[in-house]
Structure 1
Amino acid sequence: MELYVPAEARVADPESALVDGLAALSRVMVGLTARTLVGLDTELTLPQYRTLVVLAARGSLRTVDLATSLDVHPSTVTRTCDRLIRRGLVARRQGTTDRRVAWLALTETGRDLVGAVIRERADRIRDLVRTADAVRAASGEELINALVAAAGEPPEDQWWRSWASSGHRDDGT
């Protein structure tokens, strides 16, 4: 496992600064999505929601194609979709020419749920942009850093320092 290298020890370059900012912003976005799911009382995990989003974007998919899109094993997609089918969010149908092939698609309820989450998350992002006064940012890096700060998320370097010390307990063990 690679240990964290402090920012002072790394060569300062625009690419690294942008990558650090985007990594911090990705934590913000995942957090916004998770809070949106909880706020809408969906009882969905992030992987389940991601499955719905892929089906919303790509339409009906074979199990193997959905697994490829999600970068998971087909058995994982089958288990995930079994749960989503029980909740009425996804429908499964057998192929007409090959009954061994299962096709997965959003139900109307699943489509409506994805739309509601996307709209609510967009509202939360809009609030974040306003809080950050993001329209005044002069560069992409400034915009990203302003959004991260407005969300209360630590910058990447600070996060890694916290991560490095998170395995140490106050009682000395």
Structure 2
Amino acid sequence: MAQPETSAGEADDVDAVARAVLTASRVLMAVSARSLAEVEERVTLPQFRMLVVMSGRGAIKLVALAESLRVTPSTAMRMADRVIAAGLAERQPNPDDRRETLLTLTEEGRRTVESVTARRRAEIRAIVQRLRPTQRLALVEALDAFNEAGGEPPASGGAHLPPPGWST
């Protein structure tokens, strides 16, 4: 796809936005790392991503899990072996095809995802609460546009309102 031509001012603006997004991504990575602190001896950030995918998808074949994570099946298998050894997931036969194995979260795995996600949400919420209401609305709109440009649906469902529970 051809890139649109930009003027020097537009290029500077794009560079400023790129820098701001990179800075925000570092903040979010730090939040992610802190949210995993209680379980870091048992699960890494990539393994947690695997648990989140499994949480959202339910019982899943290894190949589909690898595709969702954008890793090779052998990498997904090693990650799965580690979360299984930690008691966070288990293998079970596919009821539709006994030759296949499905991966599912254990109850402990489900609690881990919920706990880490709750800590992450609370810390992000605390950061967002420090913004003025107009900044919050602008952030939702900007992030929705960013997500759409990256091929993801808007987190707000297209409504440019803060998510439920956020004070304005």
Do both share a fold (TM > 0.5)? yes
| Structure 1 residues 2-151: aligned runs within 5 Å | 11-13=11-13, 16-38=15-37, 40-43=38-41, 44-130=43-129, 132-137=130-135, 139-140=138-139
Q: Alpha carbons of 1:136 and 1:99: their partners in 2 closer, same or farther (altered >3 Å)?
A: same
The residue type equivalent to 2:131 in the other structure is D
Relative contact order: is structure 1 or structure 2 higher (C-alpha 8 Å, sep ≥ 6)? 1
Residue 117 of structure 1, CA deviation: 0.6
Q: Alpha carbons of 1:134 and 1:71: their partners in 2 closer, same or farther (altered >3 Å)?
A: farther
Q: Who is 2:152 aligned against?
A: none
Query: TM-score, normalising length from structure 1?
Result: 0.67
Residue 33 of structure 1, CA deviation: 0.9
Task: Provide the C-alpha distance between the structure 1 equivalents of 2:126 and 2:55, rounded to a whole number of angstroms.
Answer: 25
Residue 134 of structure 1, CA deviation: 4.3
Q: Deviations over 1:85-142 (max 9, x none)?
A: 1111001112245444221111111001100011111111122123x4242427339x
Task: Provide the C-alpha distance between the structure 1 equivalents of 2:9 and 2:99, rounded to a whole number of angstroms.
Answer: 55
Specify the structure having the higher radius of gyration (Cα).
1
**Per the alignment, in what secondary structure is the counterpart of residue 11 of structure 2?**
coil
The residue type equivalent to 1:24 in the other structure is T
How many pairs were matched up? Answer: 134
Task: Provide the C-alpha distance between the structure 1 equivalents of 2:64 and 2:118, rounded to a whole number of angstroms.
Answer: 27
Task: Provide the C-alpha distance between the structure 2 equivalents of 1:87 and 1:114, rounded to a whole number of angstroms.
Answer: 14
Task: Provide the C-alpha distance between the structure 1 equivalents of 2:67 and 2:132, rounded to a whole number of angstroms.
Answer: 36
Q: Alpha carbons of 1:95 and 1:123: their partners in 2 closer, same or farther (altered >3 Å)?
A: same
| CA RMSD, Structure 1 to Structure 2 (Å) | 2.7
Moved more, 97-106 or 116-125: 97-106
Query: TM-score, normalising length from structure 2?
Result: 0.68
Task: Provide the C-alpha distance between the structure 2 equivalents of 1:133 and 1:52, rounded to a whole number of angstroms.
Answer: 31
Residue 16 of structure 1, CA deviation: 4.8
The alignment-based identity, stated in percent, is 38
Task: Provide the C-alpha distance between the structure 2 equivalents of 1:78 and 1:72, rounded to a whole number of angstroms.
Answer: 10
